[in-house]
A and B are shown apart, each in its own frame.
Chain A
Amino acid sequence: MDENDSSSSKDFGKNILPKMLQNNQRMFAYGFEGYWKDVGAIKSLWQANMDILNKEASLNINDPNWKIYFRSPAEPPHYVGNSAKVSDSIITEGCYINGEVNLSVIFRSVEIEKTAFVDHSIIMPGAYIKKGAVVKYAIVAEDAIIEENAIVGGDPKDYSTDEDWGIAVIGKGVTVKSGQVVKPNEIIECSL
């Protein structure tokens, strides 16, 4: 029916459900009470990851009766070095962590060197954060390299308005050069 309507944008919420309602079709509601999040934007992807760390967010990924299955790389357990300081974060296999990690989600095979600082960020598989780099409120995609002393993102409390601040994003395979500054809200899609 919707197929023949050329003015329809073919959207469930906008077109199909209202049309069914109009036609008095039998529609039932099912009340879902668990955690849910529509991850359709950078901010909500970041928020959904932060929710894993938030005890009040009612998202439990470690429920033995409701396992979440995924593809497993054959990586050894992660190593945390003598200079590391890790708090309130999750870290998985294949990582080498020797810097400071706070309130962050670290995917597999990530390397974070001594004196690097990662805060409120999501670091995806294979990313490499070198000495002295600072990554705050950011999403660093697969295999990206943040060179020594580079700065990515910033803390919202250092910015007065919402327009100035947002999650910084470093794209897949991008290298952020030594000393380079990536501002909050910036999305870097290719290496400079």
Chain B
Amino acid sequence: MNAMGVLFSNIHDEELRDLTKNRTTASIPYGGRYRLIDFILSSLVNASIFNVAIITKTNYNSLMDHLETGSEWDLNRKNGGLSIFPPFACNSLKTVYRGKLEALIGIRKFLENSKEEYIVLSDCNTICSLDLNDVIDRHIESSADITVVYHSSKNVCEQDLLLKLDKNEWAYDVSIAIKEDLVPSNIGLGIYVIKRDLLVRVVEDAYTHGYIDFERDFLQRNANSIRIYGYENKGYSNAINSVKDYYKANMDLLNSVVRKELFYNNGRIYTKVKDTVPAKYGVNATVKNSIIADGTVIEGNVENSIIFRGVKIAEGASVKNSIIMQSTVIEKDAQLDYIITDKNVLITQGHKLTGVESYPMVIAKDSVV
């Protein structure tokens, strides 16, 4: 495919504060063994897009650790491959960027020097397995200036990009939601296709005029002068903007239709491989309706939960409606309900923790309870 990818690893860090204290949005663990970035990275390589730039901002150690050389995504290449841009890589602004347009100004030379005709721009907070070949084909056929990937949903979150589309999928209005709402809407997923030379011109214009925000300063400001095409993602998608979204997106994996759409329909989802042994179930384990990753040892009860690699759940312990991240240890007779434990948490013997569905409680990384 004659296209390259540019990903923003830290956009949405603010909204996901509990989970991004020590990491980027891109490297938030998800679904037992993944990081959020795995979904868009896999969609790119599944569409044979092998030149991928990632613009980071803060806390990118966890992201570098996850990506390594990019070999898991077949991105360790001499031509193209993975290029990671720390915030000050080539930054004539001398400050950390505030929005995506400013971030792109920082890699203007890289964009100019690339050879591909099209660019896929994407945030890293959207979980979906997207057929990007189809998106780019439709972009070319429609001769749009920019294509916005969206999904139809009635759950509008604050700051969502909302598109009003005519019957041919052309956007005639672009707005940004001011508050949560329950109205059927076309919500942008933060994934765009644009011609590279057009993006270079947009970035130059942003620099000269002091524009910062891609959605507001480019899309919205030019909604009447450029051709904005909407591409509907009809498979599963979930843009994670809050801990509540994060919780729901994990629980969605308990649905077999969602698993099929995410993991099998449009090619595989690749992630860092850890050579962990299979999950081990003890004599008295009882597990119902749960996702269990490799390397876990389960002796207790697990129900409606997502269990990451290397978790240990002792006999008599009970885990319900919870997300238990990597290497968490839950000791004997502890009880968790609606809890998200970050990595390496220790829940000591007999403790009982309860959150609620609309507000699951997050236990910070490395905590001892």
Say whether A18 faces chain B, with CB atoms less than 8 Å apart. no
* Nearest opposing residue in chain A for B307, CB measure: A77
Say whether A67 faces chain B, with CB atoms less than 8 Å apart. yes
Q: Which of A74, A92, A96 contacts B278 (CB 8 A)?
A: A92
Report yes or no: B281 in contact with A77, Cβ–Cβ below 8 A. no
Report yes or no: B282 in contact with A77, Cβ–Cβ below 8 A. no
Cβ of A74: which chain B residues have Cβ within 8 Å of it?
268-271
Report yes or no: B290 in contact with A80, Cβ–Cβ below 8 A. yes
Report yes or no: A91 in contact with B279, Cβ–Cβ below 8 A. yes
What is the CA–CA distance of A72 and B277 in the complex, to the nearest angstrom? 11
Cβ of B253: which chain A residues have Cβ within 8 Å of it?
76, 79
Given A77-B31, A77-B293, A79-B256, the answer on whether A70 and B288 have CB atoms closer than 8 Å is no
What is the CA–CA distance of A155 and B33 in the complex, to the nearest angstrom? 37
Say whether A78 faces chain B, with CB atoms less than 8 Å apart. yes
Say whether A88 faces chain B, with CB atoms less than 8 Å apart. yes
Say whether B291 faces chain A, with CB atoms less than 8 Å apart. yes
Report yes or no: A76 in contact with B273, Cβ–Cβ below 8 A. no
Cβ of B294: which chain A residues have Cβ within 8 Å of it?
77, 92-93
Given A79-B256, A80-B289, A84-B287, the answer on whether A62 and B277 have CB atoms closer than 8 Å is yes
What is the CA–CA distance of A96 and B194 in the complex, to the nearest angstrom? 40
Cβ of B31: which chain A residues have Cβ within 8 Å of it?
76-77
Say whether A179 faces chain B, with CB atoms less than 8 Å apart. no
Task: Encode A72-113 as 1/0 by CB contact (under 8 A) with B.
Answer: 101111111110111111111100100001000110000000
* Nearest opposing residue in chain A for B293, CB measure: A77
Q: How many residues of B contact A (CB 8 A)?
A: 35
Report yes or no: B275 in contact with A70, Cβ–Cβ below 8 A. yes
* Nearest opposing residue in chain B for A67, CB measure: B275
What is the CA–CA distance of A89 and B32 in the complex, to the nearest angstrom? 19
Report yes or no: A69 in contact with B33, Cβ–Cβ below 8 A. no
Cβ of A90: which chain B residues have Cβ within 8 Å of it?
277-281
Say whether A27 faces chain B, with CB atoms less than 8 Å apart. no
Report yes or no: A77 in contact with B275, Cβ–Cβ below 8 A. no
Say whether A61 faces chain B, with CB atoms less than 8 Å apart. yes
From DSSP, what is the main secondary structure of chain A's interface residues? loop
Would you list which residues of chain B between 138 and 188 have a CB under 8 Å from chain A?
A: none
Task: Encode B45-70 as 1/0 by CB contact (under 8 A) with A.
Answer: 00000000000000000000000000
Report A6 CB to chain B, min CB distance, Å.
46
Say whether A1 faces chain B, with CB atoms less than 8 Å apart. no
Say whether A29 faces chain B, with CB atoms less than 8 Å apart. no
Report yes or no: A82 in contact with B285, Cβ–Cβ below 8 A. no
Report B150 CB to chain A, min CB distance, Å.
25
Cβ of B256: which chain A residues have Cβ within 8 Å of it?
79, 96
What is the CA–CA distance of A5 and B293 in the complex, to the nearest angstrom? 55
Say whether B283 faces chain A, with CB atoms less than 8 Å apart. yes
Cβ of B270: which chain A residues have Cβ within 8 Å of it?
74
Report yes or no: B291 in contact with A87, Cβ–Cβ below 8 A. no
Task: Encode A108-150 as 1/0 by CB contact (under 8 A) with B.
Answer: 0000000000000000000000000000000000000000000
Say whether B352 faces chain A, with CB atoms less than 8 Å apart. no
What is the CA–CA distance of A84 and B279 in the complex, to the nearest angstrom? 15
Report B265 CB to chain A, min CB distance, Å.
13
Say whether A68 faces chain B, with CB atoms less than 8 Å apart. yes
Report yes or no: A89 in contact with B281, Cβ–Cβ below 8 A. yes
Task: Encode B313-347 as 1/0 by CB contact (under 8 A) with A.
Answer: 00000000000000000000000000000000000
What is the CA–CA distance of A92 and B284 in the complex, to the nearest angstrom? 19
Given A69-B275, A76-B32, A76-B259, the answer on whether A87 and B290 have CB atoms closer than 8 Å is no
Cβ of A88: which chain B residues have Cβ within 8 Å of it?
281-283
Cβ of A82: which chain B residues have Cβ within 8 Å of it?
288-289
What is the CA–CA distance of A92 and B277 in the complex, to the nearest angstrom? 8
What is the CA–CA distance of A143 and B221 in the complex, to the nearest angstrom? 56
Given A88-B281, A90-B278, A91-B278, the answer on whether A78 and B286 have CB atoms closer than 8 Å is no
Task: Encode B248-274 as 1/0 by CB contact (under 8 A) with A.
Answer: 000001101001001100001111010
Cβ of B284: which chain A residues have Cβ within 8 Å of it?
87
What is the CA–CA distance of A69 and B289 in the complex, to the nearest angstrom? 30
Say whether B292 faces chain A, with CB atoms less than 8 Å apart. yes
Report yes or no: B269 in contact with A77, Cβ–Cβ below 8 A. no
Q: Which of A61, A87, A106 contacts B277 (CB 8 A)?
A: A61
Report A122 CB to chain B, min CB distance, Å.
12
Say whether B295 faces chain A, with CB atoms less than 8 Å apart. yes
Report yes or no: A68 in contact with B275, Cβ–Cβ below 8 A. yes
What is the CA–CA distance of A91 and B278 in the complex, to the nearest angstrom? 5
Cβ of B289: which chain A residues have Cβ within 8 Å of it?
80-82
Report yes or no: A77 in contact with B32, Cβ–Cβ below 8 A. yes
Given A87-B282, A88-B283, the answer on whether A80 and B277 have CB atoms closer than 8 Å is no
Report B127 CB to chain A, min CB distance, Å.
12
- Beyond the given A62-B277, A77-B294, A89-B281, please list 5 additional residue pairs across the A-B interface where CB-CB is below 8 A: A77-B31, A79-B253, A81-B288, A82-B289, A87-B285
Top 6 A-B pairs, shortest CB-CB distance = A77-B32, A92-B278, A74-B268, A77-B293, A90-B278, A72-B273
